[in-house]
Amino acid sequence: MPLLEAVMRSVSGESGLYMPEKIPHMGDSFFRNIRGMSLRETAFRIIESLFGEDVASDVLEKIVDEALNFEIPLVSPGKELHVLELFHGPTYAFKDVGARFLAGMLGHFASNLRREITVLVATSGDTGGAVANAFSGREGIKVVILYPSGRVSRIQEQQLLRAGSNIMAIELEGDFDDCQRLVKKAFADRELNEKLVLTSANSINFARLFPQSVYYFYAWAQIEEKDKPVCFSVPSGNFGNLTAGLIAKKMGLPVSGFVASTNINRSVPLYLETGNFLPHPSFKTISNAMDVGNPGNFRRILHLYGNDLNRIREDISGFWFTDESTREGMKELYEKYSYIADPHAAVAYLGLKRQMEKVQCNGIFLATAHPGKFPEEVMKATGLNVALPGLHNGAGKESQHVKAPADFGFLKDLLYSSF
Ligand SMILES: *Cc1c(COP(=O)(O)O)cnc(C)c1O
Mean pLDDT over each residue of the chain, to the nearest integer? 91
Q: Annotate 149-190 with DSSP letters as a single string.
A: TT-S-HHHHHHHHTS-TTEEEEEEES-HHHHHHHHHHHHH-H
d(CA 82, ligand 1 centre) in Å: 19
> Mind listing the pLDDT tens digit for each residue in 25-75?
999 999 999 999 999 999 999 999 999 988 999 999 999 999 999 999 999
Q: 10 Å Cβ neighbour count for 273?
A: 14
Tell me the whole-structure pTM to 2 decimals: 0.92
Cβ(165)–Cβ(194) below 8 Å: no
Ligand 1 atom at minimum distance from 292 CA: 8
Candidate of 85, 87, 92, 126 to mutate for ligand 1, largest count of ligand atoms within 8 Å of Cβ: 126
Ligand 1 atom at minimum distance from 235 CA: 10
**Nearest residue (CA) to ligand 1, atom 1:** 289
Cα separation, 337 vs 403, in Å, equals 46
Phi-psi category of 89—alpha, beta or left, where left has phi over 0 and alpha has psi -120 to 50? beta
> Mind listing the pLDDT tens digit for each residue in 334-383?
999 999 999 999 999 999 999 999 999 999 999 999 999 999 999 999 99
CA triple 267-272-273, angle to 5 deg: 95
Cβ(262)–Cβ(290) below 8 Å: yes
Q: Is 95 in the pocket of ligand 1 (CB under 6 A)?
A: yes
Q: DSSP label at 57?
A: H
Ligand 1 atom at minimum distance from 241 CA: 7
d(CA 87, ligand 1 centre) in Å: 11
Cα separation, 59 vs 115, in Å, equals 19
**Nearest residue (CA) to ligand 1, atom 14:** 289
Cα separation, 89 vs 73, in Å, equals 12
> Mind listing the pLDDT tens digit for each residue in 245-287?
999 999 999 999 999 999 999 999 999 999 999 998 889 999 9
Q: Is 236 in the pocket of ligand 1 (CB under 6 A)?
A: yes
Residues in the chain: 419
CATH of 65-93+209-382, one of 3.40.50.1100, 3.90.1150.10, 3.40.50.720, 3.65.10.10: 3.40.50.1100
Cβ(83)–Cβ(163) below 8 Å: no
Closest CA to 207 of 69, 46, 379, 4: 4
Cα separation, 196 vs 327, in Å, equals 46
pLDDT at 1: 60
Q: Is 145 in the pocket of ligand 1 (CB under 6 A)?
A: no
Cα separation, 264 vs 266, in Å, equals 5
Q: What is the residue extent of each domain of the chain?
A: 65-93+209-382
Burial grade of 154 (CB within 10 A; 0-12, 13-18, 19 or more): exposed
pLDDT at 106: 92
Cα separation, 85 vs 266, in Å, equals 24
pLDDT at 396: 64
Is the model's pLDDT at 148 over the cut of 80? yes
C-alpha distances (whole Å) from 137 to each of 31, 201, 321 are 37, 16, 40
Confidence of residue 389 (pLDDT cuts 50, 70, 90): confident
Is the model's pLDDT at 13 over the cut of 50? no
